[in-house]
Structure 1
């Protein structure tokens, strides 16, 4: 289940890569699991008029805005957009909090924002009936062996070099199955993208091997991946 979180350095690196490839806002949004308005706002707010969007600069600008912002509760445009999307899918405030925010947000706060007009929805949306729908990956899933939370502290805190985050980016152009395997090193945030003919485990394994062999010894120690079926190859590689 997709839950709200701020854009990460990795997200911004992917936005930069896909922008450079000429992909549309909707294509980028689909690959990131975000709305087109989120991507549009990210590029508009964090790009210099004289230079194209750069992920490193964008992340620094976003962090600086957060430091300078005045406290006003937990509300933010991104959070409001996320909650509104769930309300439109007939989720109740209780469901939103229980499934996505646990103890970090109160369902009473969501009700208050609706009545205050801060979510651009009327109170009638709270009375709609219906079951929530969960998005499913049609290509299948597999279980990743070691989650990032179970990895050593030096990996989670990005204290040592050689630990990577992997993902795939789909072009969305025509009926082509071609895509990119993206790699970002957690400590330095250095990243690269490797073209793949399709999103199969075999293609992903080839991309991982290509990056691994191009780096110095022990520069590719571990990798954090999602549960897409193309990462089914990761178990044998990790061993």
Structure 2
């Protein structure tokens, strides 16, 4: 009986056209698609008639197998060991399987192992360890760690709820419930429908601004029928984003959206009072208290926490939440600790218009106005340009020199124990400039106060030019004005500033130089100044 050809379905005309197309450079798959024949039959025909060159198996580098096995035995994963040796992960798995270092698991075994791995993750998270640190310990990618924390798994490009398998399934469910209660990490839509207190009517209309139970019934019916969010929004009379939030926040724990359960969740969310976030998270509470003790403002704490905990979503707080902890007695307890805000006020006050003022003062020596200052100073391109002023004490009898660098906001304070006339101010300024790297001191911008009457002598002695603002224009040296406002927390108005020694002023400057600033991306002035000195030093070398 004749043997059937492996490409028996091809006609002679198909064979001729395949030969013509493949010899002209077209791939076998593209040629088979063009003439409409079976790809495998076309591939067999091309191999049989040697129209294509068979793919050669990859050549294993000399010693790669031994190096791979050694790396795996030392604790590296098969994937990581293959990348270290320089072979593909699939080849690494084949070598490890032949060496008895890898056993291919069934789908159920893989799911059981995944459940055990998630249990290890949950135990560490419930112990209070940050998610980023847990991911590093268990060699988990940050994105996968967020899925573990939310109880999700990625299958076919979509994230779905992870269903545990095996004897540890009950343990996994118990730990996930505990994580929901302690860390509040589960999405709102996946939380269980709450039990409302006695006497609360969840179906009572509240306002036309909120969805009613009848509107939610329309949403549930149309969503079940497969209508788009835009179509549902038109039918209900709301914005499509409202429908999106409603479906994500108020669905049932198992996925479907039902009107009754959504109404109960919305009613429970409106219940007051609620526990403030700062009081429900001990780690966050301790961080805020420590920042306030270091004289950081609420906004500085809110911004800096993102740098200190970049991968921990629990360590996030708004500056308004911190303010509420002070000003709203029902929500906070921070005032009980004896802490104070930067301004020291007991209540918030509305912003008023700045008060004008300032007279015109002229010096014997000709002044160089800010109009003639180089453009690089205004653009804050190069470090080394400073702004200066005096902070006056009670009855203007004492003063402190403040110098702030425009790029880094680095602060230097000058001690004026007795007088603060032009002679004394010039002397102290010379000492301050001499104590700072000359590469990082290029100019000073000052107002037209009488204390700078000796500006020409100062510039001749230090080779540092002094630029003057226009009369009554403090905003032209706004960095220094802002810094003086911050320094008033440690050098209060109507106080005797002569009692502060040079060491006291240095400690106060250190507090402000190690405080994160929003303008610096929540880095500290000391960090930015250190980087500037390193950059300038590398350029001069």
Q: In which range does the TM-score fall when normalised by the shorter chain?
A: 0.3 to 0.5
Normalised by the size of structure 2, how large is the TM-score? Answer: 0.21
Task: Tell me which structure has the larger Cα radius of gyration.
Answer: 2
Normalised by the size of structure 1, how large is the TM-score? Answer: 0.43
Quick one: higher RCO (CA 8 Å, sep 6+), 1 or 2? 1
Structure with greater proportional helix content: 2
